[in-house]
Structure 1
Amino acid sequence: MPAKDLYHDQLRNALVKDGWRITHDTYQIKFKEIKLYADLAAESMFAAEREQEQIVVEVKSFLNASRVRDFEAAIGQYILYRLYLSQVFPQAVVYLAINSNIYRSFFLRPAIKFATTELKINLIIFNVQQEVIVEWIRS
């Protein structure tokens, strides 16, 4: 099983504060002969007339020298997770979680914003220090 991301625990706490119940702290995605591991799975109950929402979240810290390389790796993981989950857990919505500083300094760049929009990447923006969700961006 892969090591947890640096901000794994802060995101987990932020999701709980936001009303989510963590169902898996490291979620195994098994499709045919492949096993992948997303950071978290969670669910939230909304109003009685609405269905339960379930999410699978991959958190990334973007701490390497090349944020573009980190972005390439994160997007590759995200797309594989979304593809395989569409077959084995189709009701789950996949999110990439990033801290608010990285969002402002990197994800708002035109080329990065274009990629996340075109690839329909769902984002959770969270504040690492306060352990709170700042914004949900659903494509």
Structure 2
Amino acid sequence: MARKDFYHDCVRRALVKDGWTITHEPLILPFADTRVEVDLGAQRAEQGHSAIIIAVEVKNFLAGRPVVSEYQKSYGQYQLYRELLNRFEPARPLYLAISEYAYQTIFHDDVIRTIVRDSNMKLLVFDPLTETITQWNP
């Protein structure tokens, strides 16, 4: 099992507070002769509807680390995981979980905002202090 990101447990608790049930930790997807692990799988029952399912990849973007390499790694993982989910679990959208700090700083860069928009990347923004979800984009 891969090492958990710094904010993994925080995002897990934020999802539970928001009414989600964690179903997978990690969510395992086949890839070539191995497997990849998305940090979390979750579901939420909607009254009168079938359950909504999601996958969440947690990323740190901690201060002091090189932004380009962190974003590059995150973007590549996101694209790979989304392609695998589209193939094996097409009803499960993938969200990249980032802190409010990362959203307000790194993800407000014009180039990164354009890449996120053009690639239809879904963001789950959380506050690590209150362990709450502050935004779902889109």
Q: TM-score, normalised by structure 1?
A: 0.94
Counterparts of residues 30-49 of structure 1 (less than 5 Å): 30-48=30-48
Task: Return the alpha-carbon distance in structure 2 between the equivalents of residues 15 and 89 of structure 1.
Answer: 20
Show the counterpart of 1:72. Answer: 72
Show the counterpart of 1:53. Answer: 52
Find out whether 1:134 has 2:128 as its counterpart: no
> Contact 1:31 / 1:88 at 8 angstroms: preserved in 2?
no
The alignment covers a number of residue pairs equal to 137
Deviates more, 1:23-32 or 1:8-17: 23-32
Find out whether 1:83 has 2:55 as its counterpart: no
Deviation at 1:75, TM superposition (A): 0.7
SS in 2 for 1:46: coil
Task: Return the alpha-carbon distance in structure 2 between the equivalents of residues 56 and 136 of structure 1.
Answer: 13
CA RMSD of aligned residues (A): 1.1
Q: Any idea what the Cα deviations from partners look like across 1:84-139, whole Å, max 9, x if unmatched?
A: 1111111101000000011001101111100000111000000001000000012x
Deviates more, 1:14-23 or 1:39-48: 39-48
Task: Return the alpha-carbon distance in structure 1 between the equivalents of residues 99 and 3 of structure 2.
Answer: 18
Q: Any idea what the Cα deviations from partners look like across 1:43-71, whole Å, max 9, x if unmatched?
A: 011121x3321000000001252112111
Deviates more, 1:51-60 or 1:8-17: 51-60
Show the counterpart of 1:101. Answer: 101
SS in 2 for 1:2: coil
Show the counterpart of 2:8. Answer: 8
Deviation at 1:29, TM superposition (A): 1.0
Q: Which amino acid aligns with 2:117?
A: T
Question: Identity over aligned residues, as a percent?
Answer: 36
Q: TM-score, normalised by structure 2?
A: 0.95
Task: Return the alpha-carbon distance in structure 1 between the equivalents of residues 113 and 97 of structure 2.
Answer: 15
